[in-house]
Chains A and B, each alone.
Chain A
Amino acid sequence: MKKYFFSAFAIGIAIASVAFTTKVNQQWGFHGTAQTQITDYTKYTLNNTPDDCVTVGNAPCVISVPDAIDTPAELQSYFVGKSETDIMALSSQKRSLED
């Protein structure tokens, strides 16, 4: 039994980590050029980070959405009823754009 101790311990840690880990979401990068495009789903690219992300700004950088949202059509549906402020809240980093 001793010879399996470290391996069994590793298995336990791996399973516990996955069970209690933060849910993995889909990440959509915002590539719009104006603040008015924040709610335009066509300005977002899956798993793509813009070059000009900063800590403070007036537009989102990469928004984090549920993992089922991985097509433009699903993103469009997800945006229904959401304001610019709601979408900004989905992004920890920001971009600075003209209004």
Chain B
Amino acid sequence: MNGIARFFVMNRHRVVELISALFILLFLYTALNKTVYIRPTINILNANPLLSNYATAITWSVIILEYIATAILFFPKTRKAGLIVSLALMSIFTAYIGYMMIFVPKLPCSCGGIISKLTWSQHLIINLIFILLALLGIRLQRKLSDQPDH
């Protein structure tokens, strides 16, 4: 087993905690930002003809889901469920970005968005990294759950 793999095996608990903390930071930051600046957030979805009729409902649904994900990631007992919800959310966000990049000829300006400095491509890459982190966290958490003291 190489050094990196040994590190993960020896520190499963810490790695899962760190991954969960990263997702808490991501979801809570974006949920709070969307809540405070709700109108710009809805308007970005309004720019998409496919989603404009449901922009308000989708925005509030995403915000609520992000708060729920934050809460269930916080507690060790529900962390696995939180990582699964995180994986689902990131997959949906990534699919949305992929759809926009492939099928929308003129991408709306995301400069009013939360992480306003990122391009659509950069956003896609960051999302893919978080998906990998979620998968790693779920796998490590599964191994932790198999141990008698967890």
Contact = CB atoms under 8 A, between A and B. Distances in A.
- Binding partners A and B: yes
A14 B109 contact: no
Contacts of B32: 14-15, 18
Given A6-B17, A10-B21, A24-B33, 8 more contacts: A3-B17, A11-B24, A11-B74, A14-B25, A18-B29, A18-B36, A25-B40, A49-B109
- Range, interface on chain B: 20 to 34
Nearest to B116: A24
Interface string B46-75: 110000000000000000000000100110
Given A7-B73, A7-B74, A46-B47, A67 B24 contact: no
B98 interface: no
A47 interface: yes
Interface of A: 3-7, 9-11, 13-15, 17-18, 21, 23-27, 29, 46-49, 62, 64, 67-68, 70
B71 to A, nearest CB: 10
B74 A47 contact: no
Contacts, number: 88
Interface of B: 17-18, 20-22, 24-25, 28-29, 32-33, 36-37, 39-40, 43-44, 46-47, 70, 73-74, 76, 106, 108-114, 116
A11 B32 CA distance: 11
Contact of A18 (B17, B20, B24, B33): B33
A24 B40 contact: yes
Contacts of B114: 24
A70 B39 contact: yes
B24 A14 contact: yes
Contacts of B106: 48
Contacts of A6: 17-18, 20-21
Nearest to B112: A27
20 contacts: A6-B20, A6-B21, A10-B21, A10-B28, A11-B70, A14-B29, A18-B29, A18-B32, A18-B33, A18-B36, A27-B111, A46-B43, A47-B110, A48-B47, A48-B109, A49-B108, A49-B109, A62-B111, A67-B37, A70-B40
